[in-house]
Structure 1
Amino acid sequence: MAFLRGVSPFTFVRLPTASWPGSNMRRPLLLVVSLLALLPALELIAAGPSRVNDSDPVIHRVHNKFSEVKNISKRDVVCPSGKHRSGDTCCDLCEPGYVKDKNCTTSTKTICKKCKEGKEYMDDYNYLSKCIRCSFCDPEHGFEVDKPCNSSQNVKCRCRHGFFCNSSEPCRHCDPCSKCENGIVVEECNQTSDTICGRKQYLLWIIGVVILLVLIVVAVIIRWKYRHKGNWMPKKQINDEQRPVELKPLIYPDIDLTPHISDIAEEMTLAQVKKFVRKQGLSNPTVDRIISENMHDATEQKIKLLDSWYQEKGIKGAYRTLISSLRDLKERVLADLIEQKMACHIQNNASAHQNMNADV
């Protein structure tokens, strides 16, 4: 039907008017023929425009490509392994022992600085701006240095001689090695396990029976000897035992312990100080606060705990309280050591006071 395009429908309907039978029939017939000629044109109009040169798919393809590029530009920058994203730039990481000093840019690399040797460390590749502070091996808690801290690794602690590790790796707690009361050591204490003691079973029973028999024999001999002499016990010995013993009263002078707190703390362990101050009523929150404020210094912990007790519980009679409480806590050896040290201080102060008076 394409050949009908542009052709007027009236081109094929011109007939000689003289050939029609009558003039009245000519006009309706002409109208019918015209309608028949218009049918192809109406069909083309209903079918719509030709798609031979349709450019819509091309436009759609271009639009889709543009959208894909736009979406890609909006995606986040993904850096490869060993790089750190800073904005739209992938920066190099700092090596172990170093941390970032300045960020990288599109034209410059990451600038790193070294951690302070023996004080700070960084043990991995990183993009951090601060090093990690080295840990402290506290000998008061049974630790000693196994490997010192350097710029690329933290200090490595181990339990010192006489202690063993009582926790998983890395070791966080050292306990004193046990001592075998019977003297039989199956396995010596080492870094990771406590002393293993043996048991005297039948041997202990035999030794006990032998000692008992020996004592019975000795007692029988002594009794027989004195019975035949007419004396069960010498008179002099009887008089000595019957003589009343003169008890010397314990004298605790009222001493100002302020200048002596550090000397007293030096003689005591941290566990002994904690036990003493808690017995004297120092509250657990106060004890925990002092310990946390001086986490890595056991000597300062002891001094602060004793000073807090001394200031909070009263200065008057503190020396008497200290010695008597230590004896009640079964710390007689410690109490004797502190008494000896305080006696030396008192004597020295008295001598210095006498010298001053003599000079005056």
Structure 2
Amino acid sequence: MIAAKSSKFSAWFNVVTLVLLFLLMSAASSTNEGQNMSQSCVDGTYEHEGKMCCLCGAGLHLEEHCTMNLQIGKCKTCLEETYSSHPNNHESCEPCTSCSQPNANLEVDEPCTPARNTRCRCKKDHYCSSDIKTCKICYPCKVCAKGIKTACTANSDTVCDEGYDIVGITVGIIVTLAVIGLGIGLGLWLRRRHQKRQLPVALINVNTPEENIQFLRVVDLRPHLPDIVEVIGWADMKDLAIRSTILDPTIETCELNHPGNYQEATLELLKIWVERNGKEASRNLVQLLHRSGKRDRAERVMDILSRPNNNPA
């Protein structure tokens, strides 16, 4: 009797033990599966139709969404000349940046890959005035006649050495003294003659005090723009535009609109400048040239404006 009860107890004990072991194994399996599922989304997740799907990695784009929770859908490598630099669920990749825009003077530094955009840099002997990562146009580095103080870099122009040439200065002084003795009288005579020639057109001489420039006659510049462009040139026109707070993108657009033709670029920028200055354009032009030390150009502009058949604005 005792043996039967003991056998029955042992059987129940074995059954309970097996059930407990099964439950423990199921719990452990469920925990490991959850951990593996959460660890499988190494690039993060996104929600789609109530399910959390894994993001596609960098260099890939999404072709099909996942069908089960915490699984990755169907991802595909970016096509040639496209890229995706971050994990995503986009259906297409971004187009690679081109470094071959006309007259931008850029070249490829690092080619585009499925996971990284193209990186551009300035061509040799060119620099960019902005951050090279966002640079859209590079400019030729300045060529120095007397030597280089600071070399041209990717973000700054050459700084020339303005050191004095002792031999040149000595020769210049000797020649200047000799010429002064013979030519001072002739120079004064020519200057008086030039001033008298300017009086009938009511324009002031550029050597007069700057405060008198305000009395210059207002003249319509538009009929004379081609002639003025010949006098000013692209470099001086850019300087005038910058001094008149015309933004760099506007200046760059004029340059890009006329590749290699700086005369047309200067004409376009001068027209914009005239529109900005309105009726005071003629007076402001002479004044800016005077202030920037370009008195010879100011004088030539005044000669153009003093030609016959020029009506006041």
User: Taking structure 1 as the reference length, what is the TM-score of the superposition?
Assistant: 0.44
Which of the pair has more CA radius of gyration?
Answer: 1
